[in-house]
Chains A and B, each alone.
Chain A
Amino acid sequence: MTTFTDPPAESFKLSMLVYDTRYRSITFQILALVAVLLLFGWLTMNTAQNLNDLGKEPSFGFLGESAGYDINQRLIDYSSQSTHLRAAFVGLLNTLLVAAMGCATATVIGVIVGVLRLSGNWLVARLMTVYVEIFRNVPVLMWIVLCMAILIEAMPAPSAFRGDNPDATMKLFDTIAITNRGVYIPEPLFSRSLGNLHIGTAFDISINLLAILFVLGVSLWIARDITRRANAKQEATGLRPRTWHTRLAVIVLPTAILLAFLGFHLGYPELKGFNFAGGTYMRNSLIALWLALSLYTAAFIAEIVRAGILAISTGQTEAAAALGLRGNRIMSLVVLPQAMRVIIPPLISQYLNLTKNSSLAIAVGYMDITGTLMGITLNQTGRELETVLLGMLVYLTISLIISGVMNWYNNRVKLVER
Chain B
Amino acid sequence: MSDTAFDTTPVIAPSALKVSDEVAIEISNMNKWYGSFHVLRDIDLTVHRGERIVIAGPSGSGKSTMIRCINRLEEHQSGKIIVDGTELTSDLKNIDKIRSEVGMCFQHFNLFPHLTILENCTLAPIWVRKTPKKEAVETAMHFLEKVKIPDQANKYPGQLSGGQQQRVAIARSLCMKPRIMLFDEPTSALDPEMIKEVLDTMIELAQEGMTMICVTHEMGFARQVANRVIFMDQGQIVEQNEPEEFFNNPRSERTKLFLSQILGH
- By a beta-carbon cutoff of 8 Å, the part of chain A in contact with chain B is 234-240, 313, 315-316, 318-326, 329, 333-334, 337-338, 341, 416-418
Contacts and interface: CB of A to CB of B under 8 A. Distances in A.
Given A238-B126, A326-B96, A329-B127, A337 B173 contact: no
B99 A324 contact: yes
Contact of B132 (A235, A337, A418): A235
Nearest to B130: A238
Interface string B90-115: 00100010011011101010111110
Contacts of A416: 114
B132 A322 contact: no
B100 A324 contact: yes
Interface residue tally of chain B, by bracket? 35 or more
A1 to B, nearest CB: 54
A235 B134 contact: yes
Given A238-B132, A324-B96, A329-B127, 10 more contacts: A236-B133, A238-B126, A315-B108, A321-B71, A322-B73, A323-B99, A323-B124, A325-B128, A338-B113, A417-B113
A324 B114 contact: no
Contact of B159 (A315, A324, A325, A418): A418
Given A316-B110, A323-B172, A418-B158, A234 B96 contact: no
Contacts of B242: none
B249 interface: no
28 contacts: A234-B133, A235-B132, A235-B133, A238-B131, A239-B130, A318-B106, A318-B110, A319-B106, A319-B111, A319-B112, A321-B73, A322-B73, A322-B99, A322-B106, A323-B99, A323-B123, A323-B128, A324-B99, A324-B176, A325-B124, A325-B127, A325-B128, A326-B96, A337-B114, A416-B114, A417-B114, A417-B156, A418-B158
A318 B131 CA distance: 22
3 A-B pairs with least C-beta separation: A319-B110, A235-B133, A324-B100
B129 A238 contact: yes
B128 A324 contact: yes
Interface in B109-159: 110-114, 123-124, 126-136, 156, 158-159
A365 to B, nearest CB: 47
Given A324-B124, A333-B123, A416-B114, A315 B106 contact: yes
A236 B135 CA distance: 9
A264 to B, nearest CB: 41
Contacts of B156: 417-418
A151 B25 CA distance: 66
Nearest to B136: A238
Contacts of A320: 112, 124
A416 B159 CA distance: 12
Contacts of B131: 238
Nearest to A322: B104
B188 to A, nearest CB: 14
Nearest to B155: A418
Interface string B154-195: 001011000000000100110010000000000000000000
Contacts of A318: 73, 106, 110
A341 to B, nearest CB: 8
A333 B133 contact: no
A253 B96 CA distance: 38
Contacts of B127: 325, 329, 333
Nearest to A332: B127
Interface in B182-222: none
A237 B132 CA distance: 5
Contacts of A341: 114
A237 B129 CA distance: 11
A320 B123 CA distance: 9
A86 B99 CA distance: 65
A240 B128 CA distance: 11
A238 B71 CA distance: 25
- Name the residue in A239, A323, A416 with the highest tally of chain B Cβ atoms < 10 Å from its Cβ: A323
A316 B124 CA distance: 13
